[in-house]
Structure formats: C-alpha cells, structure tokens
Amino acid sequence: MIKPHVTIHDIARELDISASTVSRALHNHPRISEATRKAVQDLAEKYNYQPNVVATSLRHGKSRTVGVIVPRINRNFFANVIGGMEEVLAASGFHLIICQTHERFDKEREALQTLVNARVEAIIISVSMETSGDQHFRRYMERGIRLFFFDRVIEDLDTGTVVIDDRLGAFLNVKHLLGQGYRRIYHVAGADHITIYKARKKGYLDAMHEAGIEPGEDWIIEKPLVMDGGIAAFREGMDSLKKPDAFFCAGDYAALGVLQAARVSGLSVPEDLGITGFANEPFTAFLQPSITTVDQRGEEMGRIVAEMLKETSDSGNPLSGHERKVLEPQLIIRESSVIHD
C-alpha cells in the first residue's frame, strides 16, 4: 500500500541513496547521473510524490508562489489580468493562489492574512469597493510583504502599480457622445473614494466643460455598477426635470441595466437615448444594439504587473518594483451611441 504522503526520505530509503541526492535528481542537477535521475523520477511518479512547498520556502526564503486578490473572478477584465500574470509568472516557475473579495473589505483583509499564512512571496491586488483606507496594507508592508496594485490602487503607498488612464478613457467616451449630438449626458458613477471612478468622473466633467456644458447636480448618479444599479440610474434620470438624452456609465454592467430599462420604457437606442459603458465586457459586442465602451487592456496590465514582481524577485531589490505605469485606454465605438443620418 502506497503511503498518503511520500517524502524524499522515503524515496531515498527505497533506493538506498541520500535524501540530498533525491532532491538534486528531482531538480535535474547535472552532477547526478542519468541512471540515478531516472530511478528517482520514476519512483516519485509511481508514488505521486508532491514536494512540500512550505518547507522549501522556509529553507530558501522564497516560495515562488504569488497571491492574487481581485474583487470578482467572474469579470472578464479580471480574468484577462490573471491570464496575463500567469503567462509571465508560470514561465518563471511561479504559482498563483487567487482569492476574491466579492467587493467586501472584511474579505479583503481575510484574503491578505490567508495568503501571508501560505507564505506567498508577494501579493498582487485590486482593492474592493468597500476599501477606503490603507492601514491593513501598511501593516503587511512593514513586515516585508511585497504588494503590487493594478486597476484599483491605493495612491499613497510606495509600491508598484499598473493602471490605465481612466480620466482619458472617460473623456474620449463622453467627447464621442458630444460629437454625435448628445448634450444632456448623465453619468452613472462608481464610488468616489475608488481611484478609477473618481478619475472617470473627472474625465466626464472635463469633456462636458470643454463643450461648454455645466452638468446639473442630478446629472451624476452614483450607483452600484451592476445591472440593477443601471436600471435604478435610468429611472432616477428619467424622473429629472431635464431628462437625459444619453448615459455614460462607469461600468458595462450598469450600461446593460440602462439599456434594458430603456427597452422596457419603449425608448429606441441610440435614436432616443445614447448609452456607453466602460470595461469592454464580452457581452457588449453581442447585444442589439452593441454597446460603445472602453477597453482596459487587462491582459497587458497583468503581464506588466507580473514583470514588475518578477524583476524585484530576480534582482533581490524590493525598491526596483516601486514604479507606476499608466496604459492608454482604447475607445471602442459601437451601435449604442452612433446616430446615422
């Protein structure tokens, strides 16, 4: 009967060699003969030997394991970012442990502690909607835990970050709506304490002001950026004294909600109402009408933040990863905002 947890010492005893020879053979050390290497690897495969990652990390001080914390794994953007990270890190022998916060601060703190307990080498994170402070991050950084941020970041922390120019993405989005003749453009905004939504609101305001339009106080509607939030924003906008002729939504799911509510109300999109979103979720291309949106270059963002982490690991200098990289967003114009003559 095969033991449930076979160690290198078990393999060494069976082959009558030292444990250090087994370890070297498993790592293809050139000083180990081909015959010994094959005997060790065949026996390891027979017994389904799995190395003790925690023990290895204690010996070498590096686990080659990276923690990733995202708000929601089922969002296309975050899936693309993780794909980009894995492409870079897997090629260098790193493994990923992925946690999601479901947009909750308490889950974010739990995930941080879980990953630290797992002895990860570093943590890459995009903060939750409920996160407004940075003390929980600072505590870990003071203990030598390397943190890297992407998309939703904490501005005052001295660490590596990768973002897109959210202000520019929103500015181009709203400028496009203005170019199509829309004037009463309402903004379905995210929580203002989150950096990306604050920047997107600034881009909206900059574009409106450049066009000589001062949005009314009720033109900016802060809602959860989910479908129900979009539906609620549509209803609130249509109850306003000056009804909107377009909605710029800070997220695609909110734009989907606005589109659904407009259909129920009998409005034609884009003739009666223009709608744009942000994130380039896959469904935006397949709806009727398809939704104009902003691509966040998620896969590239993941590759870049992973390269930052890899550089600090390879150099042994944690300060080498303390930089901020800003990617240029791409406006994708589709049917929901284009009025044909």
Domain range list for the chain: 8-51, 59-162+298-326, 166-296+331-337
Q: Determine the Cα–Cα distance for residues 86 and 78; give it in Å rounded to an integer.
A: 12
- Give the per-residue pLDDT at 73: 92
Highest mean pLDDT among 12-26, 52-66, 128-142, 306-320: 128-142
* Main-chain dihedrals φ then ψ at residue 249, nearest 5 degrees: -105, 140
User: How confident is the model at residue 59, as a pLDDT?
Assistant: 46
- Kindly report the CA angle at 80 between 74 and 86, in degrees rounded to 5? 110
Q: What is the pLDDT of residue 306?
A: 95
Q: For residue 207, give the nearest of 235, 173, 234 by alpha carbon.
A: 173
The count of other CB atoms within 10 Å of the CB of residue 269 is 21
Determine the pLDDT at residue 4: 52
Whether residue 48 is predicted with pLDDT greater than 90 in this model: the reply is: no
pLDDT band at 49 (very low <50, low <70, confident <90, very high): confident
Confidence of residue 24 (pLDDT cuts 50, 70, 90): confident
For domain 8-51, give the CATH number.
1.10.260.40
CA distances from 282 to 76, 150, 228, 253, 260 (A): 7, 21, 19, 11, 17
Two structure tokens written together for 124: 């890459």
Domains 59-162+298-326 and 166-296+331-337 share a fold: yes
Whole-number percent of the chain with pLDDT over 70 = 92
Q: Based on the number of CB atoms within 10 Å of its own CB, is 255 exposed (0-12), middle (13-18) or buried (19 or more)?
A: buried
Looking from the CA of 189 toward its CB, the CA atoms found within 13 Å total 25
Q: Please give the Cα distance from 55 to 58 (Å, whole number).
A: 5
60 band by pLDDT with thresholds 50, 70 and 90: very low
Tokens 């570093």: give the residue. 122
Confidence band (pLDDT; 50, 70, 90) for 211?
Answer: very high
Q: What average pLDDT does range 63-92 have in this prediction?
A: 93
Which of 59-63, 139-143, 165-169 shows the highest mean pLDDT? Answer: 165-169
Q: For 159-184, what is the mean pLDDT?
A: 97
* Sign of the four-CA dihedral 281, 285, 288, 294: positive
**Mean of pLDDT values over 126-151:** 92
Is the predicted pLDDT of residue 252 greater than 60, yes or no? yes
Give Cα separations from 244 to 169, 188, 226 (angstroms): 21, 12, 20
Mean pLDDT of 334-338: 97
In CATH, 166-296+331-337 is 3.40.50.2300: yes
- Between these two residues, 293 and 45, which has the higher pLDDT value? 293
CATH number belonging to the domain at 59-162+298-326, selected among 1.10.10.10, 3.40.309.10, 3.40.50.2300, 3.40.640.10: 3.40.50.2300
Picking from 79, 62, 58, the residue whose alpha carbon sits closest to that of residue 70 is 79
Radius of gyration of the chain (CA): 25
Question: Distance of CA 214 to CAs 184, 204, 208, 223, 241, Å?
Answer: 10, 11, 7, 21, 15
Of 112, 103, 196, the residue nearest 146 (C-alpha): 112
The pLDDT, as a whole number, for residue 275 is: 98
Q: Which of 37-51, 54-68, 273-287 has the lowest mean pLDDT?
A: 54-68
Residue 299: predicted pLDDT: 96
Residue type, 196: I
- pTM for the full predicted model: 0.80
**Nearest CA-CA partner of 52 in 8, 13, 94, 97:** 8
Most confident segment among 38-52, 121-135, 253-267: 253-267
Mean pLDDT, rounded, for 58-67: 68
